[in-house]
A and B are shown apart, each in its own frame.
Chain A
């Protein structure tokens, strides 16, 4: 395929949103309060909508007649290119918030840059998504502050959660060969440069939330190249169940 790299990059972008969106959908009906349940599923819906945009475009670029659904439901785990952070299980509410907060703190400045992509369709998807992600970041930031600056118990849980996911943030900022190639073509964002705005927001929020920044270096990488944790396989088993059991079924 002529545009294999562009196709792969679109899968990477779509997979981040798809996997995080699926994780958040697991909260449906289980949120600690009604408003939070609705917020998490609203965010899930936004992310899955973004995925559709990326996958529809990827399917067009590939030009083999595959649909967005085939890309979402009929690949195997090693073909998914999402970052490790988004496949982590939901855990308790503080853990879900920590995962969301780290991703949103990366996602917003990332989309701000992606709006300037030389690829017009990617730029359009980024501009559209950015409006929604601005709300996501505000939601997750507010909850980090509320839990961190809350009771002794909520602070402890929030602190544990930000420590637990810290190591997976490495994957966000480690550029793959594919990303470097796409940066050269003016299509992708240089993720290494995203660390600065990410850290600014994280440090500022933790200061307001009375939380300590973890004192170790994030290390876990590989998701973007298909090297996932065991959690992704379980997630995909559920995500793909209907299409695997009843091929081509439609709602």
Chain B
């Protein structure tokens, strides 16, 4: 196989790893895999954390190593880089659709949108009934990346993947 083909295959393999907290998303949907390179010492996968304290990051690194090992790639190194800092803008469009159907409202707009950063989340859509008449209950939800919302129409509580 040529280098390009091999690299394509590596991305495909790494793309099988799911986010342990939001298992509908792959690590590629999430945008945490920054680079995959092959060197003489083996494969280096560069990942970036979503939130600094996110306990899923260690697991994601281990799972990437495991899946590559299973495919016969022995020496795998996981490199963690912080810069540029991860943003929800890196969530793929596909990923946003998956979140919505899983019952988690995807982040609204871009993180550069100041209104979102200031917490004026008035356009968050309920993932169940699609009403925009929703209310934030708590900025901090079940995991570091989510806020807790409630729909004023269907009354269901739901998670919102917050802009970051």
Is residue B99 within 8 Å, beta carbon to beta carbon, of the partner chain? no
Encode contact with A along B141-164: 1 for CB under 8 Å, 0 otherwise.
110100010000000000000101
Given A127-B83, A128-B85, A138-B119, CB of A49 within 8 Å of CB of B53? yes
The answer to whether A139 and B139 have CB atoms under 8 Å apart is yes
Contact status of A52 and B83, CB under 8 A, knowing A39-B140, A135-B139: no
Cross-chain contact of A128 among B82, B138, B139 (Cβ < 8 A): B82
Question: Chain A's interface: helix, strand, loop or mixed, by majority?
Answer: helix
A38 touches B142 (CB 8 A): yes
B53 touches A39 (CB 8 A): no
Is there a chain B Cβ closer than 8 Å to A156's Cβ? no
If A127-B85, A131-B164 touch, does A53 touch B139 (CB 8 Å cutoff)? Answer: no
Establish whether residues A128 and B140, one from each chain, have CB atoms under 8 Å apart when the complex forms: no
Contact of A38 among B85, B119, B138 (CB under 8 A): B138
Docked-complex contact B137 and A124, CB < 8 angstroms: no
Which of A52, A129, A135 has most chain B Cβ within 10 Å? A135
Q: Is the CB of B140 within 8 A of A35?
A: yes
Interface residue? B54 (CB, 8 A) = yes
Minimum CB–CB distance from A134 to chain B (whole Å) comes to 7
- Tally of A-B residue pairs with Cβ under 8 A? 71
Contacts of B141 in A (CB 8 A): 38, 42
Q: In whole Å, how far is A250's beta carbon from the nearest beta carbon of chain B?
A: 13
User: Number of A residues contacting the other chain (C-beta, 8 Å)?
Assistant: 28
What residue in chain B is nearest A38 (Cβ atoms)? B140
- B138 and A46 within 8 A (CB): no
A50 CB-CB contact with B under 8 Å: yes
Q: Which residue of B lies closest to A39 (CB)?
A: B140
Chain B residues with CB under 8 Å of A147's CB are none
A120: Cβ under 8 A from any B Cβ? yes
Known A39-B139, A131-B164, A134-B117; judge A53-B148 contact (CB<8 A): no
CB distance from A123 to the nearest CB of B (A): 7
The reply to whether the CB of B11 lies closer than 8 angstroms to some CB of chain A is no
Please give 18 more A-B residue pairs, beta carbons under 8 A apart, in addition to A128-B85, A139-B139: A35-B138, A38-B138, A39-B139, A39-B140, A43-B140, A45-B54, A46-B51, A46-B144, A48-B53, A49-B51, A49-B52, A49-B54, A53-B82, A121-B82, A127-B84, A127-B85, A132-B144, A138-B119
Binding site for A on B (CB under 8 A): 49, 51-55, 81-86, 117, 119, 137-142, 144, 148, 162, 164
